[in-house]
Structure 1
């Protein structure tokens, strides 16, 4: 069976129409497309009265894979995972190694308490909780009408 791609006329190369088809198939390959789509994890950032919540979606990792650093007021989260499958006694025609890493940095506001940062990893979600300084917390009070 032969798969035939039809050119809808948007990409018209009068010199060599085969040239476009070859590069379209290479650049639009689903394998390459999936690998290049997500290099950094999705992040949710929320603020409550007493703290900031940062959640990163990073499934398939272990606690030991993460490295969290604080440099001045920049919080950096990075991870590195190497997976290598070895099957002795087999003759391989194709062998794939898996290697993935990412780095995300967040600039913390002046109201963040740098000494009170906690991290927890469960169910593929890395949760960071950054406490606020006491003077930066929302102060609520009732104002009397004169």
Structure 2
């Protein structure tokens, strides 16, 4: 009987599907490469009337956040800067990530771009995208 040594990072995260295997691979590859900037966490959900999104942006001011919609893509970008007054401190550990970020989300065609609402409170950006009536993609026409 042969023993198989598991990678310590993957030990508790066994992918269930090929798709989740690819997601794990790319997420691990990105998270192991510490680049300047960060990727804020996002929660997305849908109601009957809207698409909703919350973006975790602790420590940012609303002046440092940009939300734009163009050609069906909603983009959230900004920058978290390191406090220059504290650079003289002798840090033992800095785990917060600083720098620029940009997240893009392809939205369905049935949105009302002119009524998108963005609210920033307590480090959370909440974006609400209203739906409009579904466009007709296929319609059966009776022959007379």
Q: TM-score, normalised by structure 2?
A: 0.58
Instruction: State the superposition RMSD in angstroms.
Output: 3.2
Q: Is the 8 A contact 2:75 2:103 kept in 1?
A: yes
Match of 2:79 in 1: 80
Aligned residue-pair number? 99
**1:41 aligns to what SS in structure 2?**
coil
Q: Deviation at 1:39? A: 2.2
Q: Distance in 2 between matches of 1:78 and 1:99?
A: 13
For the structure 1 residues 93 and 125, does the alpha-carbon distance in structure 2 shift closer, same or farther, using more than 3 Å as the test? closer
Q: Deviation at 1:83? A: 3.2
Any stretches of 5+ residues in structure 1 without a counterpart?
1-32, 137-146
Q: Distance in 2 between matches of 1:128 and 1:36?
A: 28
Match of 1:125 in 2: 124
| Runs of 4 or more consecutive aligned structure 1 residues displaced over 6 Å after TM superposition | 93-96
Q: Distance in 2 between matches of 1:35 and 1:84?
A: 23
Any stretches of 5+ residues in structure 2 without a counterpart?
1-30, 135-144
Q: Distance in 2 between matches of 1:93 and 1:74?
A: 41
Q: TM-score, normalised by structure 1?
A: 0.57
1:106-145 correspondence to structure 2 within 5 Å: 106-133=105-132, 135-136=133-134
